[in-house]
Amino acid sequence: MATSSIITSPKNMSTAILIRVDQSGQGDYTKIQDAINSVPSNNSELVFIWVKPGTYREKLVVPADKPFITLSGTEASDTIITWNDGGEEGSESPTVNILASDFVGRYLTIQNKYGKSGKGVALRVSGDKAAFYGCRILSYQDTLLDDSGRHYYKNCYIEGATDFVFGNGASLFERCHLHSISEGNGAITAQKRESPLKNTGYVFLGCKITGIGGAILGRPWGSYSRVIYALTYMSGVVQPEGWNDWGDETKQKTVYYGEYKCYGPGAKRDKRAKWSHNLTNEEAAPFLNKTMIGGRSWLRAAPTQFNKTSN
């Protein structure tokens, strides 16, 4: 997938400019958005925004012209970004909007408290090459708009009731915990791939699925929707049929929904939708590493040296 503009990469990937956000006034800024705003347009240096513990009631945007930003807490449980917005236009509601490429989010809780009234996106990721580590992403309907680009989520907790991972990203979720709070039969994913030529889709590798009611693994927002669960624990919250065609039987012939060596009471395949796939070793192989997202070329280690901002 091509990015919309030419990005100049930092020359030194181990050193970052450090910006501190602290509500007590002991940092460079007291608001996260002010710290983001301080990064120059067409940024070509690593910027590490360290958010001290607290509850930040902000609606954040990382603009497309500000790549190479890391937004990091220390623990997700005590560094909380929260807002309350929603409605039918899910793209308007996100608490956190990532429009830039080469973004990293670490150890944050990102929350939309809109509740059961409609779509309330907590996190929208529309930039290419974005990675999230140890984050908690919380809402009810449409929690994570994994919109477009290549993305990597590791050790994240994602909670919702309806279509709570949705969009048309090419994304790998590794060792993540998906928790359904649907009291009925909610869908975990609604992936929007609309052409067999597009390399998009969601892969859940070594994940865990829990919940309080019933849940299906996915339904097709796009005709060529693609979702794979591999080596994933499925609790009894996963319904026996597993997958749903969203009322359009023609999509049964075009979607690609697969499972590979999943386990737990919800992983039994005897009553699964007949048009879903029980993948062989060979079929699963392309989805068991970072190849689909090209991760080896862009995933980066956290910086080890910091230069303080001049502010």
Residues annotated as part of the active site: 163
Distances (CA, A) of 296 to 20, 63, 301: 29, 25, 11
Residues 168/191, Cβ–Cβ less than 8 Å? yes
Count Cα atoms within 13 angstroms, Cβ side, for 245.
14
Bridging pattern class, strands 170-174 and 150-154: parallel
Closest C-alpha among 95, 48, 46, 96 to residue 73:
48
> Tokens standing for 309?
């901002």
Nearest Cα residue to 66 out of 46, 91, 94: 46
The Cα–Cα gap between 239 and 69 comes to 40
Residues 229 and 258 sit within 8 Å (Cβ to Cβ): yes
Exposed e or buried b per residue across 6-40, where buried means at least 16 C-beta atoms within 10 angstroms of its C-beta? ebeebeeeebbbbbbbebeeebbbbebeebbebbe
Q: Which of 219, 245, 217, 214 is nearest to 232 (CA)?
A: 217
